[in-house]
Amino acid sequence: MKSGDILLFKAENDILSMIIAWGTNSRYSHVAVCVSPGMNLAIEAITKGGVRARDIRAVPRERYDVYRVREGHAYDPDRTISYLVRALNNRYDYLGVIFLGILKLLARIGIPLKDIANKWQKDRDYFCSELCYEAFYSGGGLDIVPDVPDSDVTAPGDIAKSPVMEAVEEVVG
């Protein structure tokens, strides 16, 4: 694994994880970013604890896939990591992510409310995929989901489908 690799977690058997995956039409429900492969350290935003550091070794490897920025897409990995470190201890917006999930569900059944979702997102603290997006965009200067309109809320599945990202087949360690 390398610094800046994105860990996309597969939906599990908890209701929130399954709703996120279904509502975003993806198999993924959570995102973390590797900040130090030598220390097996990733940073993520979670419902219990907000933005925190996590030991990657504590997560069974089959629970996540690793994605990396494709060659030819320039960004500053040090600034991306610095952004993530500065975000540590920020709050997770649990109610906001539920609200956003409801809006995504409504959009999935044909009632799009993307502008409301965008306003809600910008007025609240981090949820996982927003933290990841902002770290690469504001911190490192790279839009990792260029096909997602500005008014959309970045979801884990958006990152997996991005032309900027590629799945890493084999990760040792």
Q: What is the pLDDT of residues 6-41, one digit of tens each?
A: 999 998 878 878 877 877 788 999 999 999 999 999
User: Is a pLDDT exceeding 50 seen at residue 151?
Assistant: no
* pLDDT per residue as tens digits for the range 50-64: 999 999 999 998 999
93-122: burial string, b at 16+ Cβ within 10 Å, e else:
bbebbebbbebbeebeeeeeeeeebbebbe
How high is the pLDDT of residue 20? 77
Write down the pLDDT at residue 39: 95
Closest alpha carbon to 153 in 111, 113, 109? 113
Q: Which residue has the tokens 């990733």?
A: 42
Quote the CA–CA distance of 166 and 160 in Å, as a whole number. 8
Smallest Cα–Cα separation from 91: which of 55, 60, 125, 52? 125
Query: Which tens digit of pLDDT belongs to each residue from 89-148?
Result: 988 776 666 666 676 677 767 766 555 544 555 544 788 888 999 999 988 899 999 988
| Domains of the chain (ranges, CATH numbers) | 6-167 (3.90.1720.10)
Query: In this predicted structure, what is the pLDDT of residue 73?
Result: 95
pLDDT of residue 38: 94
